[in-house]
Structure 1
Amino acid sequence: MIRPEDFREAMQRFAGPVTAITTIENGVPCGLMATAVCSLSAEPPSLIVCINKTASAHDTIIRQGFLGVSVLPDTQTAFANHFARAKGVDRFEGALWNFQETGAPLLAGASVAFDCRIATTHDGYSHTILVCHICEILLPNVDADRCLLWHRQGFVSLAAKQAAEKA
């Protein structure tokens, strides 16, 4: 039997890209940070996004049926800390946001951003698994091709890690 603490320790060793998952309802942006995002298919272009059912933005994202996935570049650690710690609409302060086809907020300084519609949802125990069709892909920041990672309960930059390894 796998103990929950062993699973958590194993997942801390698994680095994942830091993403802002966002939507908007009645003109009010809503979102959360997530690392459980991955590609699903090129035909049709789609992603899988997993959201904890207890997250404050969970129900709003499901209800709206659309979301933005903004992959943070490794230069955005301060914004990532702000977005992760702030609550509600305060998360969106201090950054520029784009709005595409669905209306979901997409981070203007993202490495890449995906504007998506939720195609299907599945029960994932503590999470809801969202299969999302990509409506648009934005590559707004050509100088930010390295994404910020979450590893060992902290933000990690590949550039910083590579520099430390060379030292």
Structure 2
Amino acid sequence: MIRKPWQSTLAIIAASIGLGSLANAQELTLAQCPPVVQSAIRNNSQGGTLEEIKLVDRDGASLYVAEVGLGENRDLKMYITADGTVVRSRQEIDFKTVPVPVRRTVLGLLPEGAVVSDCDVETAEGATKYVVEFMISPTRERKLTLGADGTVLSEHEKEKN
């Protein structure tokens, strides 16, 4: 698909709000969304249950953020433009389902005794990334972001309270 320049701008907006606070967001029902946004949500919900939709306005651009429960404590978050384009999605997945190169890299970096605590697949502008979190001690967590080929794109550690 060929993206228009404004679609890339909206993808950047979506990425910039990330998983952070959506304090300026307005909660909506599915019926309150434009028909194309409703279709995008229905077509990409993977049979899950719609839990929440928020309308976010950033620099005059509207973005719909839909959260879908997929069962088994998994969820999906989609960032959708007013024209119904899903510019970003993030889905919680089982670590066993990540591509072999990603799993191989993570297991090679996993300290002895560490346990994977969370795994997400994120898609934005046609690129897929995997975000894997694991506990390296009872109070320390590491987060890796990897490309589909297993390349580490970023790595962060933080103290857990």
The reply to whether TM is greater than 0.5 is: no
Higher-Rg member (1/2): 2
TM-score range, shorter-chain basis?
Answer: under 0.3
| Larger RCO (alpha carbons 8 Å, 6+ apart) | 1
TM-score computed with the length of structure 1 as normaliser: 0.24
